[in-house]
């Protein structure tokens, strides 16, 4: 029986009401199976359980299935993103949709486990967070682990670069991410590709997903236009004012954080402010890791031409350095959880005095945006929080206890804000530097936690050295 289908409509025609469907794709619009998503919308199957990293954005977003009244449950890593409206959140809050939040690395691992015939596994991720509630927790080697169950689905909709008539799939660039694990966890995996070739046209070592895991192959017909320009990370040279005085700009803040990274380090940059750090490591022997499956990359140069299949975890276009590597999300989170990263830089909603971190959900949200943060932290890398000192309403982000849902307990090592550099010593943070023009007392006045001050508090200059944050 041939695996080649004449159209996306034919490939999804038998998906029944009540089916579970995993849809691979990254961020708001990278490498989604657009043709299959639209075909499933037009096919009209109801009461679907959708499994995805997020439901995307744009003309062909999987969220269209939700808008069309076809979804009764969603299992996601992102149900909401800052500044964007979320239909998932609205429906879940109204009781019209069941929402389950899963960290990104655990999501791919649960599907991979289903494909590997493993019913469950223990993970260090989500320990001490609301996501561990009602789950079995055991200790191994003196550390706590949460039991996670395999996640098998009826269908997976994925996207590749090329496929042959045997169903072998080749991927390009950093666009492999969720696709292999989603396909392996499905009873029926359907892939759309740019090109279908005869068996043997794809060299065996270039096969990213063996055809034995693929049931159906179609040509892609729904294309997303590639943005013009390099999408280089910039931030307006604006500065927040505290006590009527300007603090560090966002780019100065990112530059100071970049200087904390030691040479020969492998680091991960989270979304938001931490992504700006990438602009300040050019020319340094620092290896950047992106959880969508890139290791050893840099931002696309101003003169570079964007490749839709080369992007980082924040959606920015990249180019690979000599010696870099590309792989799927399973391998990427193996890098993170195994402790291979020297540092992880993340943003935060709140950091507590004892180092607790809250950065994925705020009061009033049913879900939030977990992404890969919990998995990255579980690798016991040095965690550096990069953020503005107060939130947009002037409220303290450095608090005695987090009132927002925890991402992980006692995990933050260093905080870099537009006012101060703070290092955790035991159960308390120490002010090591303050922004020019500000005093220790002014920093304390804007902070809702007890702070110690170093014997010699330095000036927080962009590009300063790293001695003050040595372990």
Point out the residues that are catalytic: 291
Q: Are 346 and 340 in contact (CB under 8 A)?
A: no
Number of continuous H segments (helices) and E segments (strands) in the chain: 10, 28
* Closest alpha carbon to 358 in 402, 410, 401: 402
- Burial class of residue 325 in the structure, from the number of CB atoms within 10 Å of its CB (0-12 exposed, 13-18 middle, 19+ buried): middle
CA distance 269 to 352: 21
Cα 58 versus chain centre, distance:
19
Question: In terms of DSSP H, where are the helices of 33-101?
Answer: 34-43, 63-67, 87-93
Q: Are 448 and 396 in contact (CB under 8 A)?
A: yes
- For every residue of 179-241, DSSP letters joined together read HHHHHHTEEEEEEEESEEE-TTSS-GGG-SB-GGG--EEEE----PPPPSS-------S---E
First vs last Cα of the chain: how many Å apart? 61
Q: Are 125 and 374 in contact (CB under 8 A)?
A: yes
Q: Are 202 and 168 in contact (CB under 8 A)?
A: yes
CA distance 279 to 233: 7
Q: Are 48 and 72 in contact (CB under 8 A)?
A: yes
CA distance 465 to 119: 49
Q: Which helix (H) or strand (E) holds 76?
A: strand 71-76
- For every residue of 309-362, DSSP letters joined together read T-B-TTS-BEEEEEEEEE-BHHHHHHHHHTT--SEEEE--SEEETTS-EE-S--
Question: In terms of DSSP H, where are the helices of 12-53?
Answer: 34-43
* Closest alpha carbon to 406 in 350, 367, 332: 350
Cβ within 8 Å of residue 147, ≥6 positions away: 120, 121, 122, 135, 136, 137, 138
CA distance 39 to 41: 5
């Amino acid at each position: 029986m041939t695996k080649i289908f004449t159209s996306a409509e034919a490939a999804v025609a038998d998906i029944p009401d009540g089916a579970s469907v995993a849809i691979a794709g990254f961020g708001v619009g990278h490498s989604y199976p657009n043709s299959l998503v639209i075909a499933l919308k037009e096919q009209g199957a109801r009461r679907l359980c959708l499994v995805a990293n997020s439901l995307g954005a744009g003309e062909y977003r999987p969220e269209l299935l939700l808008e069309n009244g076809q979804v009764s449950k969603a299992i996601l890593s992102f149900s909401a993103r800052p500044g964007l409206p979320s239909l998932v959140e609205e429906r879940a809050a109204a009781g019209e949709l069941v929402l389950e939040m899963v960290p990104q690395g655990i999501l791919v691992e649960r599907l991979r486990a289903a494909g590997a015939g493993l019913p469950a596994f223990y993970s260090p991720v989500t320990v001490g967070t609301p996501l561990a509630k009602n789950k079995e927790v055991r200790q191994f080697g003196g550390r706590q682990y949460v039991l996670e169950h395999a996640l098998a689905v009826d269908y997976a909709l994925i996207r590749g670069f090329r496929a042959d008539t045997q169903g072998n799939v080749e991927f390009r660039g950093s666009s492999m991410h969720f696709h292999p694990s989603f396909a392996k966890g499905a009873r029926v995996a359907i892939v759309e590709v740019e090109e279908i070739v005869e068996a043997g046209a794809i060299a065996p070592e270039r096969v990213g997903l063996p055809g034995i895991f693929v049931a159906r192959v179609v040509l892609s017909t729904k294309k997303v236009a590639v943005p013009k320009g390099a999408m280089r990370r910039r931030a307006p040279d604006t500065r927040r004012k505290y006590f009527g005085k300007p603090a560090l700009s966002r780019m100065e803040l990112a530059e100071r954080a970049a200087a904390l990274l030691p040479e020969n380090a492998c680091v991960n940059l989270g979304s938001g402010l931490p992504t700006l750090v990438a602009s300040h490591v050019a020319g340094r022997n620092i290896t950047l890791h992106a959880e969508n499956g890139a290791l050893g990359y840099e931002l696309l140069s101003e003169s570079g031409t964007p490749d839709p299949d080369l992007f980082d975890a924040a959606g920015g276009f990249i180019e690979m350095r000599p010696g870099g590597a590309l792989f799927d999300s399973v391998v990427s989170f193996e890098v993170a959880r195994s402790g291979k990263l020297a540092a992880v830089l993340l943003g935060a909603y709140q950091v507590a005095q004892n180092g607790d971190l809250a950065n994925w959900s705020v009061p009033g949200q049913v879900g939030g945006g977990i992404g890969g943060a919990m998995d990255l932290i579980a690798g016991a890398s040095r965690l550096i929080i990069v953020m503005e000192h107060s939130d947009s309403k002037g409220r303290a982000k450095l608090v005695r206890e987090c009132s927002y849902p925890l991402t992980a307990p006692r995990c933050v090592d260093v905080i870099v804000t537009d006012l101060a550099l703070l290092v955790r010593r035991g159960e308390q943070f120490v002010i090591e530097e303050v922004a020019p023009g500000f005093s220790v007392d002014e920093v304390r006045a804007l902070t809702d936690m007890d702070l110690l001050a170093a014997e010699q508090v330095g000036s927080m200059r962009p590009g300063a050295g790293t001695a003050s944050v040595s372990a």
